[in-house]
Amino acid sequence: MSDSNESQLQIRLITTQDIHAVPDIPLTVPITIDTKALNKLLNQLLKESNHDYLKTKQFDFLAVNHIIRLPLNEHLQEHNVSTEATVDIEYIERTPAPEPQESILHEDWVSSIQSSEKWILTGCYDHSVNIYTHHGKPIASIKDHLEVVKGVTWIDQTDPSKGFISVSHDQTGIIWEWKEGTDVIVPKISLRGHERGVDSVGVSPNALKVATGGWDTNLKIWSALLDIDESGEPSNKKIRAGHRSTFVRTPLHTLKGHKESISVTKWVDDHTVCTASMDHTIKFWDCELFGIKNEIVDQKAFLSASWSPLSKTLLASSADRHIRLYDPRSTEGTICKSMFTSHTLWVSSVVWSNYDEHLFLSGSYDSTVKMWDTRSCKAPLYNLEGHEGQVLTVDWSNKKYLVSGGSDNNVHIFKNKHCLL
């Protein structure tokens, strides 16, 4: 017969979700207890402390800030935690699985997506820019670019009347005007200055500036204002672009420093841009002093990145199967704080949730989309199935919807049941 100290340990169940709180007194449990048994125990305690608690709920449990996936003794051993002392176990109501909503078939590969409150904006390899509802209804479509569209973004996600921007391998960007709900999209301003294809675009949080990056290795900063007269530009020269005439806008600034193509352009704040490049570097640019503030160097070409204003950390994916979380402020040890591994091929796109500092989404050439919690590095919360080709882009700009597009010409929309309404 084994010694009781080897077969049992003491835990204390704690939570920040007051609605689910139970007395945080020490409890004796089997040392090999798993999450199924912890859920049973917690639901029993909730029923005892609250007679109105009728429906059994599912919870995730954390010890040493990591979600427990293994029997408790194995989890503690993995994180070098003693089983001699009382172990605090935090519990949170489990994030429900996103529900498949719609699938939108395009005519070619879908390379870029961004949602607003009501609409989904897509850019495609067939040179088109398209607008849909979140229920998959087509609203408007236009093909004024002469090459593949690689990036699309709303200027202000809360106000579509301020227009949107697309960038293309035809070396241009276009600022478009769209009257919400109509099928009329009008190209207003052509962004000209790149010498090779443009791969990425981002708009500053105050919706005043645009940043673009591409194969000429240059980061360019532009005015995002739809109105030519308000942009402060000396030239209002009109040119023929595609089927219509547009005003030409030249960059306010060109920032040099990368040695290969810029694959990602994200604003950190109104004055700082983050770029990720095929040259194995991520750079943070000061757009007031026009220099590099910080730099991350790794071993592989960077394919995607996403900045979280909630946690002040950066997610990035490289030409490998891994997703890395970087903390640029870190002064101790490596700035790479976590690595998430579950995809079997290159991870083409990552994006943070904009309402929960722990949640993010990833898409891969392995045809899968995964929803993650940063406190679980080895396994995602959910695999979102549906794509039959490479996933090229994922978006979570609207907290209610998780959206992905890929080389199967499809956009998949999942309803997020976890969002805070």
pLDDT (0 to 100) of residue 239: 57
**For residues 61 and 14, what is the distance between their CA atoms, to the nearest angstrom?**
10
The structure's pTM equals 0.90
Residue 201: name the closest of 116, 286, 289, 262 by CA: 262
Which fold does the domain 4-93 belong to in CATH?
A: Ubiquitin-like (UB roll) (3.10.20)
321: left (phi over 0), alpha (psi -120 to 50) or beta: alpha
Three-class SS of residue 173?
A: strand
Q: Would you say 312 and 298 are in contact if contact means Cβ atoms under 8 Å apart?
A: no
pLDDT of residue 255: 97
pLDDT tens digits, 225-268: 987 665 555 445 555 544 556 899 999 999 999 999 999 999 99
E strand or H helix that includes residue 238 = strand 238-241
**Domain range list for the chain:** 4-93, 99-415
Q: pLDDT value at position 235?
A: 45
In contact, 226 and 162? CB cutoff 8 Å: yes
Structure tokens given for 98: 């996103």
CB neighbour list of residue 169: distance below 8 Å, 6 or more residues apart: 147, 148, 150, 197, 198, 199
Q: Which pair of tokens denotes residue 187? A: 């190209």
What integer pLDDT is reported at residue 238 of this predicted model? 58
Residue 384 to residue 369: CA distance in whole angstroms? 5
pLDDT given for residue 244 in this prediction: 59
Query: 98 to each of 105, 169, 359, 370, 381, how far by Cα in Å?
Result: 20, 34, 13, 11, 10
Phi (first) and psi of residue 129, to 5 degrees: -120, 135
CA distances to 135, 235, 249, 388 from 109, rounded to whole Å, are: 20, 36, 29, 12
State the burial class of residue 37 (Cβ atoms within 10 Å of its Cβ: 0-12, 13-18, 19+): middle
Would residue 263 be called left, alpha or beta, if left means φ above 0 and alpha means ψ between -120 and 50 degrees? Answer: alpha
Angle at 197 between CA 393 and CA 368, to 5 degrees: 15
Contact 163, 156 (CB under 8 A): no
Query: Which residues share a beta bridge with 325?
Result: 315, 338
DSSP H or E stretch at residue 131: strand 129-133
At 223, the amino acid letter reads S
Q: What are phi and psi of 72, to 5 degrees?
A: -55, -40
- The DSSP symbol for 86 reads P
Residue 332 identity (one-letter amino acid): E
- Closest by CA to 242, choosing from 163, 172, 183, is 172
Q: What is the pLDDT along the chain (421 residues), one digit of tens a residue?
A: 334 445 899 999 999 988 899 988 999 999 999 999 999 999 999 998 887 787 889 999 999 999 999 999 999 999 999 888 999 999 999 989 999 999 999 999 999 999 999 999 999 999 999 999 999 999 999 999 999 999 999 999 889 989 999 999 999 999 999 999 899 999 999 999 999 999 999 999 999 999 999 999 999 999 999 876 655 554 455 555 445 568 999 999 999 999 999 999 999 999 999 999 999 999 999 999 999 999 999 989 999 999 999 999 999 999 899 999 999 888 777 899 999 999 999 999 999 999 999 999 999 999 999 999 999 998 999 999 999 999 999 999 999 999 999 999 999 999 998 764 4
Specify the pLDDT at position 419. 65
At residue 230, the pLDDT reads 52
Q: What angle do CA 380, 407, 243 make, to 5 degrees?
A: 130
> And the tokens for 192?
């000209």
Q: Which residues contact 366 (CB under 8 A, 6 or more apart)?
A: 343, 344, 345, 391
Q: For residues 153 and 151, what is the distance between their CA atoms, to the nearest angstrom?
A: 7
| Nearest-5° Cα angle at 328, 350 to 299 | 65
CA torsion, points 353, 101, 142, 405, in degrees to nearest 10? 60
- CA-CA distance, 13 to 269, in Å (whole number)? 38
Please enumerate in sequence order all residues whose Cβ is within 8 A of that of 181, keeping only pairs 6 or more positions apart, or say none: 139
Domain 99-415 -> CATH class: mainly beta
Tokens standing for residue 17: 């979700």
161: left (phi over 0), alpha (psi -120 to 50) or beta: alpha
